[in-house]
Amino acid sequence: MGPENFAEFISGLTVDYTPVVGDNFNHDDFVAIDLSENNPELMKLEMLSSEAFSLFLNNSLRKAGKKAAFGGYNEVRNLYKRSRLFNRNVDEFLNRNIHIGLDIWAAEGTEVLAVLEGKIHSFRDNANFGDYGPTIILEHEKNGRKFYTLYGHLSRNSLEGLKEGAKVRKSEKIAALGNSSENGDYAPHLHFQIMENLMGNIGDFPGVTSKLELEKYLCNCPDPNLLLKI
């Protein structure tokens, strides 16, 4: 491990905008979106149905002249109340409702790109309601330091033909965004996350945490925008 902390290490790997969706997207094609508990109107749409939120999002992007919306790191969301995958406790301090990846909302079928060269560590269809759906984890090593990137809410055919250990190039298409019937019942989007330690997980890693474990996960999973620079 180098002298710098993991967040500083990740930030230093790229200088400019690094694409993770759409091989023809550029920095100006994105707009920030707030899905936190501070934006109850959007959260009502998302909790109502993935279709309602998709319609709202598509209309908003079209009016703004943008291709994708992004945001959500270290964001407290009420959305996860709809799934017992995240909320099984009476104590709110223990419930998982803090998002620790970056979401990028774009059209179904949008290409998903490897942000850096590496290899396929693992993949899985995490098919629970409210889960990632099809998921790919890549393993990277830079300057003698190993780390991982996770790509969730993919299409099911994105997992076809994959092999653990297969090498991937930077900006290579590795998947496509799935629809609500295959991505955990969400509007089409990519959940992108960086992890220094997988903590024994294979084809999966928590993308939402509780207040109790927040500090641990923020240290292990720094803001993905440090790398993407959207």
Which residue ranges of the chain lie beneath pLDDT 70? Answer: 1-3, 40-48, 78-94, 96
DSSP state of 109: T
Closest CA to 140 of 113, 120, 162: 120
- Fold classification of 6-228 is Glucose Permease (Domain IIA) (2.70.70)
Domain boundaries, the chain: 6-228
Q: pTM of the full predicted structure?
A: 0.90
Confidence at residue 87, expressed as pLDDT on a 0 to 100 scale: 56
> Could you read off the pLDDT of 141-193 as tens digits, one per residue?
999 999 999 999 999 999 999 999 999 999 999 999 999 999 988 889 999 99
Supply φ then ψ for residue 13, to 5 degrees.
Answer: -80, -25
Confidence at residue 77, expressed as pLDDT on a 0 to 100 scale: 75
DSSP string for 128-165: STTS-EEEEEEEEEETTEEEEEEEESB-GGGGTT--TT
Confidence at residue 79, expressed as pLDDT on a 0 to 100 scale: 61
Confidence at residue 89, expressed as pLDDT on a 0 to 100 scale: 52
Confidence at residue 83, expressed as pLDDT on a 0 to 100 scale: 46
Confidence at residue 1, expressed as pLDDT on a 0 to 100 scale: 43
